[in-house]
Amino acid sequence: MSAEESEDGALAVALLDTLLDRGRTLAVAESLTGGLVAATLVDVPGASRVLRGGIVAYATDLKAALLGVDPALLAVHGAVHPEVAAQMARGVRERLGADVGLATTGVAGPDPQDGRAAGTVFVAVSTSDGEQVRQLAIEGGRAEVRAASRDAVLALGIDVAQG
């Protein structure tokens, strides 16, 4: 795969190349990023050798219906929670038959959601070995929060894939 000019493109290339080298596949579950992660990945020529697909579950009820997130967890904590991110990543990995699942959930802003401030984001990676979640506090407007969330989940994916 050829390197892209932008940082996010470079992260996508690095993740896809790492997974391809290891013979692993990828699926993506997105909430606040609304397809931005998947779009960045498919901008890379040859992404189809690794990326199986993605689910944009923007509405909270779809996180349960499409990704298998525990409805009780969503009822108690809302969609912006580390365990929700972990369950989204696991759910997309299992439902799309991938080796690795990525997930993003959080508040792009400008208003708070589920008692969480704008810029509060959780990104997660799931493999058969378990889930890793990172919490972020991102400054800026919606575009900056979404872009930083995309970059963070791609970087976490690289860390897990290389580990």
Count structural domains, the chain.
1
End-to-end CA distance of the chain: 21
In a domain, 1, yes or no: no
In a domain, 36, yes or no: yes
Q: In what order do the strands lie in the sheet with 51-56?
A: 51-56, 26-30, 100-106, 120-127, 130-137
User: What domain range includes position 71?
Assistant: 7-162
Question: Average pLDDT, stretch 28-55?
Answer: 98
CATH number of the domain enclosing 121: 3.90.950.20
In a domain, 79, yes or no: yes
In a domain, 129, yes or no: yes
Over residues 57-114, the pLDDT tens digits come to 999 999 999 999 999 999 999 999 999 999 999 999 999 999 999 999 999 999 999 8
Does 21 have pLDDT greater than 80?
Answer: yes
Question: Average pLDDT, stretch 117-141?
Answer: 97
pLDDT at residue 2 in the model: 40
In a domain, 51, yes or no: yes
The pTM assigned to this predicted structure is: 0.95
In a domain, 78, yes or no: yes
In a domain, 135, yes or no: yes
